[in-house]
Structure 1
Amino acid sequence: MPDERVFAARLMRLGLADEHGAVIGRIEDVVIGPAFGSSAPRVLGFVAGVQRRRIFVSAGRAAAIGPAGITLRGGTVDLRHFQSRDGEILASALFGRSLGAEIVMDVALAPNDRGDWEVASVALGARRALYRRTRRVVDWKEARTLFDSGPVGAQLAALRDMNPTDIAATVHALPPGRRALIAQAVPDEQLADILEELPEDEQVRLLEDLDLARAADVVEEMEPDDAADLLAAMPPERRAQFLTALEPEDAAALSRLLRYDATTAGGLMTPEPIIVAPDVSVAEVLARLRDPDVPSAIAAQAFVCEPPTDTPTGRFLGMVGFQRLLREPPANPVAGCISDAGHVRPELGEREVAERLAAYNLIAVAVCDDAGRLVGAVTVDDVLDRVLPVGWRKRRR
């Protein structure tokens, strides 16, 4: 496997290019988050000089990082002046720092298994050498004192293995400054999980502390129905900015959801249930349901539709639960074991949707349009969020 490390000092002054390859600025620094637990310090983003401004570019916006510089994904660039936050570490501030009898010469960055960039190693040199040069490169853990940030690092370590619901309660209780720093430091997918456990007004406030590009990356990691609820809670102008910053496919899906009233089946549904064609084998359907990235309520059943199998689909034929699939021969087509649990219309009220789920002991119910095409599915967890009394999350805390 090729070495994908990029040294921060070499990255600085290289070009920042848009998605078409046109250079729009220069990289001036690397912004690093604090270390916590055994997790390496995460690259939060980069300081770049664009149009005579020093701006922050979220690491999630980078499509490629290498010897030629950084190439961005599509979308707009936030031109607000960069301001360092408490707990953030600039790579340039580490250069020349003492570490025992040596000094820091450079910091190596590398992608992890999730595709996020983090500090992989630190280059060290002799403190009193006439010509400073790297003597050795050590794993970041041998230099972790460089990446400690006091109470912030301790707070992050404490949150690392907590359930998202408990993390959300803890973050909610923090003062605004600390809450913003936690949001900056945790990975996008973890922040998305936290947001999904908070009321929409608190989600909006937390995202206000992030630059638009990073906030858009986080929204893309959220479940579509939760992301749509969040966007619906924003002022129209801000919502429009987010839809422009999102990937076109995600923006189109969320725009469809935003057409529905939040208190209806259309407002509750996810547009991304497990959808299969009738000739797909039972074994293949079970393989899709086993995907660990699929939320449990969605993975409990598959929806069978005529092609196309992206919402809005072809004609909705029925659904099948994973327990029924386990009792079927793996090679059989799924069409032979579907059940007709009916469907609801997008405009049906949330109370009626809850009654349908309860009456038929369903974990999810199909949502179909006038032509009988599947446009989404409402899961029981989304209904519970709506029918429980207002403020139930705070009482739980």
Structure 2
Amino acid sequence: MSAQRVFVARLAGCLVFDPVGDRVGKVRDVVVVYREGGSPRVVGLVVEIPGKRRVFVSITRITSIGAGQVITTGLINVRRFEPRAGEVRVIAEILGRQVRFRDGSGTATIEDIAITQAPSGLWNVTQLFVRRPKTSASPFAKGATQFTTWAEVQEADASAGDPQSAEQLIATYADLKPADLAISLLELPEERRVEVAAELPDERLADALEEMQEQDQVELLRALDDERVADVLDQMQPDDAADLIAQLPEDDREHLLQLMQPEEAEDVRMLLNYAPNSAGGLMTTEPVIMSADATVAEALALIRREELAPALAAAVFLTLPPYEPPTGRFLGVVHYQRMLRHPPHERLGALVDQGLEAVHVDASIAEVSRTLASYNLVSVPVVDDGDRLVGVVTIDDILDHLLPDDWRSRDEEDAALKRSAAAHTGSINIVGNQAARSGSAGIRR
């Protein structure tokens, strides 16, 4: 490896390849250990491999870093990364920290860290890119930036409520999908996780919470103040918010409902009235509902909204007024694909799927699943005793209940991941159970 300097924030997301050019994964973080009398030393990278698993790749397995890519020797241990004592992740735990200059000139925030390869082949932290506190009251002003060395600063004890402390880490999460964001949050140390969650926008945190197990949801929300929790619940899908609130004690449940927006709280209250394993307990109350006189053009304009989930955008549900659940009498479903085959001025009432019947609000998961499977649907309407549309059950709602409670956990996927990694990376030698039998198991470095 040739001597070079690499900035960690720019390294995040870079592709990792094996010696023959097959893709291994993406860099998600850099792992360092602190040393007395010197700057931290790099011990490896956290790499996301196929299967969304984050694994440790020792720096001794890295042959090249640069030009937007990382080259490895091809030997990867697919066991999920867990920090060892003394190991610190740069992006997750150092960027955004406050430091104090040893010469007494004030404080600054770490925005990036440069790592440089020594003649020995090892990598060390050599420079910090920091930002001083702003000196102007203008909301557009920013503090001055500068480069400094590790020896010139010492880490300050920043308060957990400091909004600047999580800013850099949140920026690295900007391109993550909700499921990946949820995994990234859960991998953070508890204090750091709460700090980042406190600074995430309400909608972004809501998206991540929807991808977590209910126990993880509750533990994270308990660390936030009640008003913030209510704001996040307002941004969640009503069925997900209801599932979360149902895990709380009765007093806490009612208190949060009182703090939520009245319209959002009303939907959640309605869902809480149904058995968790019924169509009513599974459904969402926010389908696209229109009148039979509406046109194809009007329907397409509604379902192309970016914030609408794909499963909800696959069909429009027709009812008599009112058009908010519980609606007037349910009339039928018009599928997106059928709308595409008709002119924009065509009335939706003429395009109803005559062969599809709604399920009752008390229908079991098995009945709803059979309806979805029988008609090749991604959503099915739910009606009450008065034949009024009260919501729809989508395919993801069913999967959440049919899969094991710990389906989001990566701990049980070793065998599948080894097969997946081998299929995707060709010549990579995956260290796993087979390696254990040959005596190489347990060697992470």
TM-score (norm 2): 0.58
Does the residue aligned with 1:376 lie in a helix, a strand or coil? strand
Hey, what's the Cα distance between the residues in 1 that align with 2:324 and 2:244? Answer: 23
Does the residue aligned with 1:362 lie in a helix, a strand or coil? coil
1:29-58 Cα shifts (integer Å, max 9, x gaps): xxxxxxx99xxxxxxxxxxxxxxxxxxxxx
Q: Is the contact made by 1:351 and 1:387 (CA closer than 8 Å) also made in structure 2?
A: no
Q: Is the contact made by 2:133 and 2:144 (CA closer than 8 Å) also made in structure 1?
A: no
Alignment CA distance shift 1:141-1:280 (3 Å): farther
1:42-79 Cα shifts (integer Å, max 9, x gaps): xxxxxxxxxxxxxxxxxxxxxxxxxxxxxxxxxxxxxx
Residue of structure 1 in register with 2:378 after alignment: 363
Residue of structure 2 in register with 1:287 after alignment: 301
Residue of structure 2 in register with 1:349 after alignment: 364
Q: Is the contact made by 2:135 and 2:143 (CA closer than 8 Å) also made in structure 1?
A: no
1:159 Cα deviation after fit = 1.7
Residue of structure 2 in register with 1:17 after alignment: none
| Residue 157 of structure 1 pairs with residue 191 of structure 2 | no
Residue of structure 1 in register with 2:397 after alignment: 382
1:158 Cα deviation after fit = 2.7
Hey, what's the Cα distance between the residues in 2 that align with 1:219 and 1:390? Answer: 22
Residue of structure 1 in register with 2:238 after alignment: 224
Read off the aligned partner of 1:173 and give its amino acid letter.
E
1:329 Cα deviation after fit = 1.0
1:61-118 Cα shifts (integer Å, max 9, x gaps): xxxxxxxxxxxxxxxxxxxxxxxxx9699xxxxxx97899x98444444xxxxxxxxx
| Residue 321 of structure 1 pairs with residue 356 of structure 2 | no
Alignment CA distance shift 1:391-1:103 (3 Å): closer
Which one of the candidate residues 263, 266, 275 is aligned to 1:249? 263
1:395 Cα deviation after fit = 3.2
Q: Is the contact made by 2:291 and 2:321 (CA closer than 8 Å) also made in structure 1?
A: yes
Does the residue aligned with 2:408 lie in a helix, a strand or coil? helix
1:186 Cα deviation after fit = 1.1
Does the residue aligned with 1:395 lie in a helix, a strand or coil? coil
Gaps of 5+ in 2: 1-8, 11-94, 99-104, 109-129, 148-161, 414-445
1:187-212 Cα shifts (integer Å, max 9, x gaps): 11110010000011211111111111
| Residue 372 of structure 1 pairs with residue 387 of structure 2 | yes
Q: CA RMSD in A?
A: 2.9
Does the residue aligned with 1:392 lie in a helix, a strand or coil? coil
Query: Aligned residue pairs: how many?
Result: 278
Does the residue aligned with 1:296 lie in a helix, a strand or coil? coil
Residue of structure 2 in register with 1:166 after alignment: 180
Relative contact order higher in (CA < 8 Å, ≥ 6 apart): 2
Hey, what's the Cα distance between the residues in 1 that align with 2:221 and 2:319? Answer: 37
| Residue 211 of structure 1 pairs with residue 225 of structure 2 | yes
* Structure-to-structure mapping, 1:236-275, within 5 angstroms: 236-275=250-289
Alignment CA distance shift 1:368-1:175 (3 Å): same
Q: Is the contact made by 2:279 and 2:360 (CA closer than 8 Å) also made in structure 1?
A: yes
Hey, what's the Cα distance between the residues in 2 that align with 1:276 and 1:103? Answer: 53
Which one of the candidate residues 190, 198, 204 is aligned to 1:176? 190
Alignment CA distance shift 1:103-1:389 (3 Å): closer
Gaps of 5+ in 1: 1-35, 38-85, 90-95, 110-120, 123-139
TM-score (norm 1): 0.65
Does the residue aligned with 2:333 lie in a helix, a strand or coil? strand
Q: Is the contact made by 1:343 and 1:366 (CA closer than 8 Å) also made in structure 2?
A: yes
1:351 Cα deviation after fit = 2.1
Alignment CA distance shift 1:87-1:141 (3 Å): closer
Hey, what's the Cα distance between the residues in 2 that align with 1:294 and 1:272? Answer: 9
Read off the aligned partner of 1:390 and give its amino acid letter.
D
Equivalent pairs: percent with the same residue?
Answer: 40
